Amino acid sequence: MDTRRIVFLDREALPDWLDFDGLSVPHEFVFHPHSASEEVAERIRDADVVIVNKVKVDAAALQQASHLGMIAVAATGTDNIDLETCNRLGIIVSNVREYASHAVPEHVFTLMLALQRSLLAYRESVKNGRWQQSGQFCYFDFPVRDLAGSTLGIVGRGALGEAVAQIARAFGMKVQFAARRDAGAPAEDYTDFGHFLRTSDVISLHCPLNDQTRGMIGASEFALMERHPLLINTARGGLVDEHALGQALRSGQICGAGFDVASEEPPRLDHPLMRLLDYPNFILTPHVAWSSHDAVEAMARQVIHNIEAFCRDEPRNVVAGFRS
């Protein structure tokens, strides 16, 4: 078997302790800590396989990569890859799937519980001496709500959405899944999108970012949220209009929000989400919901398996690469 030149465009996107030494096919690894957009074309020009996490690989770079047979995405989302061009050129794109089926749902409920019980606000107030000032065994500066009996609305019914639903039911929550915004009559077990927005006490997003879902939660959707829900987003930042989110949070249209993602990562200091960090009912974490030790190891194993399968001419987890 020929030696494959494998180029990793953004190795620093994954932890230092992770290695890819288990790859069994003859190979030469080239690691780049990160790659700017103007560096991608040159770096993949002679590659047989490219590993990428979040770096954008566009049509111009792909068209110059005459040896490239496969892109192994070290993530589930593939919105950073020009899939149409990969299909046209026959470049296999394989992603990793269901590797964070415990990590992400656990992070969802970490955010949900922290916001529902004002955990961070109370912690900060204790740190600042409020407990001593109260003169009582407790005080009631911030709202504390139960999850039991509330309605969780989930957008996206893949492995993560279903895992979140399972945990929610254990908490005694009612669960409903949103039908697509443009759906006519919702399919069985799905809720009309407008009704979904009006009747959910917590909304959690678990759908991909594409032309149909980009900006799916904006000012008009916030206006329908009659129960002033929590909004949890561990999927993609572009699903939510972040300026509208800020307005909804400031006006009380929603009672809180927990985000692990942003439309720009890392966000600029003046990014709309960064401007919300002083609000006690907003939590922003740096896209780490997926990153438990177990999940990262599982993801790396899938990347290796995907490359090995491609080298056997038996590609797996294929999302693009079908010549038209």
Active site residues: 236, 265, 287
User: What are residue 155's DSSP bridge partners?
Assistant: 205
CB contact burial 205-238 (16+ within 10 A = b; e otherwise):
bbbebeeebeebbbeebbeebebebbbbbbbbbb
Phi, psi of 196 (to 5 degrees): -55, -45
Which value, to the nearest 10 degrees, does the dihedral of the CA atoms of residues 268, 272, 278, 284 take? -70
Q: Rounded to whole angstroms, how far apart are CA atoms 202 and 254?
A: 9
Pick from 209, 180, 175: which is nearest to 79 by CA?
Answer: 209
Cα distances (angstroms) measured from residue 250 to each of 63, 197, 218, 223, 279: 47, 19, 15, 13, 9
Pick from 126, 171, 179, 131: which is nearest to 148 by CA?
Answer: 171
Supply the DSSP string of 283-320, one letter for each residue. Answer: EE--S-TT--HHHHHHHHHHHHHHHHHHHTT---SEEE
Pick from 272, 311, 296, 257: which is nearest to 19 by CA?
Answer: 296
Cα of 289 vs its chain's centroid, Å = 8
Whether 305 and 72 have beta carbons less than 8 Å apart is answered as: no
The token pair at 184 is: 């006519």
How does strand 318-320 pair with strand 92-94? antiparallel
The token pair at 232 is: 């949890």
